[in-house]
Amino acid sequence: MIETTTIRNDQGGLLVSTAQVATQRSASYADLLAEHLGRKVPVEPLPGGYRLHFGIGEGLLNFGPESLSLLVTADDGASLSNLRDALAVNLERLGHRDNLRVVWR
């Protein structure tokens, strides 16, 4: 079972899952992932990353010097799992030459 955090909001609970992906090219991978997923979902550029607006939740990409941080939020477990899978599969495919692996917490 993947560990998640629940944040309470006005409507009830919001599930959150995070991952840190070690890479020296985090900005490049964030750009590639945002560009790729931006063909399917709205992408909002942020200082140091991107916000991805999925119909079932949101994803945040935050790049630093040593790693790419991923955070997904959703109202239910199935949606959270779908978002985790979407980000992980696409990032790992884009980063296959650098052997990127996403491990959710």
Residue 4 lies in a domain: no
Residue 105 lies in a domain: no
Secondary structure (3-state) at 65: coil
The CATH number of residue 20's host domain is 3.30.310.50
Q: What is the pLDDT of residue 1?
A: 31
The predicted-structure confidence for 69-90, as pLDDT tens digits, reads as follows 999 999 999 999 999 999 999 9
Residue 45 lies in a domain: yes
Query: Are residues 103 and 19 in contact, defined by beta-carbon separation less than 8 angstroms?
Result: yes
* Domain span including residue 77: 14-98
The predicted-structure confidence for 34-68, as pLDDT tens digits, reads as follows 999 999 999 999 999 999 999 999 999 999 999 99
Residue 41 lies in a domain: yes
Residue 49 lies in a domain: yes
What is the count of structural domains for the chain?
A: 1
Q: In the chain, pLDDT over 90 holds for what percent of residues?
A: 87
| φ, ψ for residue 91, nearest 5 deg | -65, -45
The span from the CA of 63 to the CA of 69, in Å, is 6
Secondary structure (3-state) at 56: coil
Q: What is the pLDDT of residue 13?
A: 79
Residue 8 lies in a domain: no
pTM: 0.87
The span from the CA of 65 to the CA of 79, in Å, is 30
Mean pLDDT of 19-27: 97
